[in-house]
Amino acid sequence: MKRSSSPERIILTFKKISGLLITDLFSIRYFSGFTGSSAVILITPKYRYFLTDFRYKVQSGQEVKKGYKLIFYQKKLLDEIINIIKKERIKRLGIEERNIPYDLIRSIIDKTNIKPVDCSEELQIYRRLKSPEEVNSIRKALLCAEMSFQKVLPLIKPGISEKDVATELEYCMKKNGATGISFPIIVASGKRSALPHAHPTNKKIRPNDLVIIDFGANINGYNSDTTVTIKLGKTNNLLNEAYRTVRKSIDLALSMIKVNTKTSDIDRKIHEFIIARGFKDGLIHSLGHGVGLDIHESPTISRNKDDFFQKGMVFTIEPGIYIENIGGVRIEVMAHLSDKGVKILNSPSFNNNFLT
């Protein structure tokens, strides 16, 4: 994938640092192309160092983009990092504070006297603006998930357990080309659908249950994330109204999203809309989040965090209403913001309206 020239070095200048240590595997893959499970990147004004152990010598030689100096350590990664810091005379070292092991950064400070500078947000800025190739990869993962769900849908009926639904859906996604699942599948039926992040259990789905299923496929490192609510028979008027409110919340949110719109404003307006429709708790979780190499990326669409929608973002919109001891409704779509506005990435043939 084509990238803008040396974004890591732009961060060096912006943050006034002489080195940048990248430890998050998603960021490492984004910047270098490496898909293994053990590596770090150390950027200096002169060089881009890629450090991994000898197990990945062949793989890194095949995957890591041009421009990196490959270093294969045999004993301790810490020693290699310290050697570079001393050789390059790094005094201010950029780190990913939320992803670097405490003992690693503590040891680096003790042995080099560097001053750590958090660059987590700056690295996320690049990752959250998706290239056309990345959007296409996410579309493929989403299509795989949708096709798999349609195959499993006829099996979702009274008598099957929540765990069996999750197992069948995971199997189907992998059979349809997924590298893996994006996250543990959520299946919650009946009163358990009022639990936003319920793990599937051995509970049998019963007639007239609402069933929330939250699932996603990973293809070549990129994720999808979507949620459906299914009705198996009759539901009471309160849950029917909850469903209509959730559907209208999605339409309302998408109609308000434009480049430079504040994410917290959208979340707040949907929260207020749900309350105005008679559901006093409103929206009890964030309205959505970015999706890419990681299942939860920037931006976080929450009234508790100020951010702005930008061209190139791929994100979810997932309003939900949860009524204790009765049930819940959540629907989640994926969207892409471009020059032409917001476009839902879910395919037109995939009908999120599973409540009839």
CA angle 227, 142, 257 (to 5 degrees): 70
Q: Give the single-character DSSP code of 234.
A: -
**Beta strands 48-53 and 69-73: pairing type?**
parallel
Q: Give the single-character DSSP code of 134.
A: H
Q: Report the predicted TM-score, pTM, of the whole model to 2 decimal places.
A: 0.91
Query: Which residues, including other chains, have CB under 8 Å from residue 103's CB and lie 6 or more apart?
Result: none
Q: Using an 8 Å Cβ cutoff, are 32 and 23 in contact?
A: no
Q: Using an 8 Å Cβ cutoff, are 268 and 287 in contact?
A: no
pLDDT tens sequence for the chain (356 residues): 344 457 888 999 999 999 999 999 999 999 999 999 999 999 999 999 999 999 999 999 999 999 999 999 988 999 999 999 999 999 999 999 989 999 999 999 999 989 999 999 999 888 999 999 999 999 999 999 999 999 999 999 999 999 999 999 999 999 999 999 999 999 999 999 999 989 999 999 999 999 999 999 999 999 999 999 999 988 899 999 999 999 999 999 999 999 999 999 999 999 999 999 999 999 999 999 999 999 999 999 999 999 999 999 999 999 999 999 999 999 999 999 998 999 999 988 665 555 54
Quick one: which of 73, 29, 69 has its CA closest to 52? 73
- Give the C-alpha distances (Å, rounded to integers) separating 169 from 74, 117, 157, 207, 345: 42, 43, 14, 21, 20
Going along the chain from its start, the domains and CATH numbers come out as 7-128 (3.40.350.10), 132-344 (3.90.230.10)
Amino acid at 111: K
Joined tokens for residue 336 = 């892409």
Quick one: which of 212, 225, 131 has its CA closest to 178? 225
Distance of alpha carbon 30 from alpha carbon 265, whole angstroms = 30
In 271-326 the beta strands, taken as DSSP E runs, fall at 288-290, 297-301, 314-317, 320-323
Distance of alpha carbon 257 from alpha carbon 207, whole angstroms = 38
Q: Using an 8 Å Cβ cutoff, are 121 and 201 in contact?
A: no
Q: Using an 8 Å Cβ cutoff, are 325 and 194 in contact?
A: yes
